[in-house]
A and B are shown apart, each in its own frame.
Chain A
């Protein structure tokens, strides 16, 4: 399969992620869409690594996964913290800070 296919697939996934972030109001779903963006990058990196025949991008992918895991841990706890206060995870309710 030509390399372009992988590129377009991962760009498509990335754009779906971005669109999700833009459209959804539920913080958890927004966060899932961000994960989708990261995974699109992972897919691209792995494909590139296979094509170039070097492993460095695959190693990079491991780091991305580790960091993503850390972000999940932090992110979910922040969302829980907010949920406890306002009993909702709707990001549009949160607009106490503005101007």
Chain B
């Protein structure tokens, strides 16, 4: 529980620091130090828990009256998320500093979101799940609207807020119906075998939860907010929302469906299958038409969510491993791409014309990330997609979805390669909003190395569990 408490404390600390500190850069330095510390605390917790688990031979360590359960798998996920946040702040801190006046508060909100992520990944009770989701969502409403001078940002914030609050209502109704059927909020005590006539309540509850989770991970037809919010929100926060937050929600999504609802898989898998198919089709086809790379990335995040939904449908051991690989592969590539995007003045495809000539390093890194997102072999994206498809094939019922996924992956190559085409084969003199520093180059280099390392040895990520 140390990381949870620490991240909440760090958030409060950042808020108080905002009262006294004036220099913007010092917030970033402070945040980086705290995030490094947080990652360290996570590793410490992981090591301690592993030791405890190996001695008492239990499935996990419980906290707060069995409401939170930690084990090596979800702590490792938390560690990865903290490390990715560190990477994110390292890549994006210049842009964060430029969003508005309240730099300290932005970092505080990021720490609160991290607490939400920790709750989200370790919940053992629907209450904690609810708190985790809200703790992640509410700061995001603020971050989306943080560029107060810009109407687009405010519009994004309002849209996100209204729809998000609506989906919270649906989530709560789903939980209430589940409670009505099962008489408990503790997911380990869920017993679907004695439901009788209450089955309909439970299934309706599960479907409402699918809808609400689907909203958070921007699955069709609940995806409408995504392009507008991602487009309107300040770029550095879009990067955060589209990567770390989204994969964390997926982790929670998978853990409740795998651990609690798996026995009813027959009833909800079809609903989820329809959602997945719609998500893949809408995400990929609409991305083809975009003019702005930022908006294309929003649709791409919908499309990638379609692939991650494979894991939820399968809900098997392969899916657990796969979601971890996918989370890191997708986050690293997308973060790197947003870092490149944030350097650009013009977010349209034409803005990338000729980048390879003027900034070969930036262009090469971006090309690697795009290849990974497109799922080209030897990159992390390929292994991630491989795991997802393998999980679904192991499950055995949704082969048509696998075929659809492969077709749509082929479509995705089109819009990802459009950027590569622009960078390498078009003439132009792209303008940068910020200069590329050595630190940027090193961090982008790390991302590229991660993309290849995971592409060749995905098991590296899994061996730590």
Contact = CB atoms under 8 A, between A and B. Distances in A.
In the complex, are there CB atoms of A and B closer than 8 Å? yes
Interface of A: 7, 10, 14, 17-18, 21, 27, 30-31, 34, 37-38, 40-41, 44-45, 48, 52, 54, 56-57, 59-60, 63-64, 67, 70-71, 74-75, 78-79, 81-82, 85-86, 91, 94, 96-99
B165 A75 contact: yes
A75 B161 contact: yes
Nearest to B150: A85
A82 B155 contact: yes
Given A34-B169, A38-B168, A70-B138, A27 B151 contact: no
Contact of A60 (B151, B173, B185): B185
Q: Which of B127, B154, B158, B169 has its CB near the most chain A CB atoms (within 10 A)? A: B169
Contact of B183 (A10, A52, A91): A52
A55 to B, nearest CB: 12
B173 A7 contact: no
Given A44-B180, A74-B141, A64 B172 contact: yes
Contact of A44 (B141, B165, B176, B183): B176
B144 to A, nearest CB: 9
A91 B162 contact: yes
Contact of B179 (A48, A94, A99): A48
Contacts of B165: 31, 34, 71, 75
Nearest to B130: A63
B148 interface: yes
Contacts, number: 120
B interface secondary structure, majority: helix
A interface secondary structure, majority: helix
23 contacts: A18-B169, A27-B162, A30-B162, A37-B166, A37-B169, A38-B169, A38-B172, A41-B169, A44-B176, A45-B179, A48-B180, A60-B127, A67-B138, A71-B161, A75-B161, A78-B154, A82-B154, A85-B154, A86-B151, A96-B152, A96-B232, A97-B232, A99-B289
Interface of B: 126-127, 130-131, 134, 138, 141-142, 145, 148, 151-152, 154-159, 161-162, 165-166, 168-170, 172-173, 175-176, 179-180, 183-185, 227-228, 231-232, 289-290, 295
A17 B169 contact: yes
Contact of A81 (B148, B152, B170, B173): B148
Contacts of A82: 154-155, 157-158
Contacts of A37: 166, 169-170, 172-173
B176 A41 contact: yes
A38 B170 CA distance: 9
Contacts of B127: 56, 59-60, 63
Given A60-B127, A63-B130, A67-B131, A96 B155 contact: yes
